Amino acid sequence: MVKRIVLLGAPGGGKGTQAKKIVQFFGVDHISTGDMLRAARSQGTPLGKKAAEFMDKGLLVPDELVIGLVKERVENCLSGFVLDGFPRNRTQAEALEKAGIDVDTVININVDEDVIVRRITGRRSCPNCGAVYHIEFSPSKDKIHCDNCHVALITRDDDKEETVRSRLKVYHENTAPLIQYYMNKGILQEVDGNADPDTVFERIKQVLSDVANR
Ligand code: AMP
């Protein structure tokens, strides 16, 4: 059984959506650095305030801040995990290894760039509960308010078009080289993410079952 999974892929490639499905199906913990940073930010912690400066520009938050968060979280996680949004560069990948945190499988979700831009710029989030919708693919019931809390949905600052462009640039420069990094370690699995979430999840389940049966 595969219990320690890393999801790689460009922002907007569906990592968050697939991570939630993996969590439900396999009973592992969801560790999303994006979610942790947004929580720290809305709580107004010193780390959150520092992180906000980088997040709003679509830049990576400094490694030392993020690595500390992840280590603490993984150490308290007994049932396995799916890492979503971490590692984002080589320093972070090496930090996992130095901390003795072994990963079983790295899944790279491959999505075409035009699909990504359409997915991210159409995203709407609930400022209260964090639920995420999409104006085209998964709108809320009235398309304006959150189905759970009924507050008006917003476009996250880092989902605005110019920020999306910076995030994609940052992805190509920093994160994409991790594909080769994990390929060299023999634990990389590629999944075509140009499909609806359920189809992509079926592909992920297949990959994880193939890995487990090796
Ligand atoms: P995400 O929700 O994973 O797309 O992350 C949103 C933003 O949080 C990113 O654009 C970064 O500014 C920041 N962030 C999330 N994860 C990391 C990470 N592992 N390292 C540095 N910054 C991160």
Contacts of 66 (CB under 8 A, 6+ apart): 33, 37, 60, 86, 88, 92
Contacts of 85 (CB under 8 A, 6+ apart): 7, 15, 16, 32, 33, 34
Rounded to 5, what percent of the chain is helix, strand, coil?
50, 15, 35
Of 21, 38, 88, 124, the catalytic one is: 88
| Chain mean pLDDT for the chain | 93
Average pLDDT over residues 105-123: 91
Q: Which atom of ligand 1 is nearest to the CA of 163?
A: 10
Of 4, 21, 124, 156, the catalytic one is: 156
The answer to whether residue 156 is catalytic is yes
Average pLDDT over residues 163-181: 93
Q: Given a cut of 90, is residue 79 above it in pLDDT? A: no
User: What is the model's pLDDT at position 56?
Assistant: 85
Q: Which atom of ligand 1 is nearest to the CA of 58?
A: 10
Average pLDDT over residues 109-130: 91
Q: How confident is the model at residue 195 (pLDDT cuts 50, 70, 90)?
A: very high
Average pLDDT over residues 157-172: 88
Centre of ligand 1 to C-alpha 70, Å, is 12
Average pLDDT over residues 41-51: 94
Ligand 1 pocket member 33 (CB < 6 A): yes
Q: How confident is the model at residue 112 (pLDDT cuts 50, 70, 90)?
A: very high
Residue type, 210: D
Ligand 1 pocket member 61 (CB < 6 A): yes
Ligand 1 pocket member 54 (CB < 6 A): yes
The answer to whether residue 49 is catalytic is no
Q: Is 4:80 a contact under the CB 8 Å cutoff? A: yes
Average pLDDT over residues 90-115: 93
- Phi and psi for 60 in degrees, rounded to 5? -75, 140
User: What is the model's pLDDT at position 2?
Assistant: 67
Q: Given a cut of 90, is residue 34 above it in pLDDT? A: yes
Distances (CA, A) of 54 to 34, 60, 61, 74, 133: 12, 6, 6, 24, 24
The answer to whether residue 124 is catalytic is no
Centre of ligand 1 to C-alpha 214, Å, is 33
Pocket test for ligand 1, best of 42, 56, 61 (most atoms within 8 A of CB): 61
Average pLDDT over residues 168-192: 96
Average pLDDT over residues 69-88: 91
Closest C-alpha to ligand 1, atom 8: 34
Q: Which residue has the higher pLDDT, 144 or 156?
A: 144
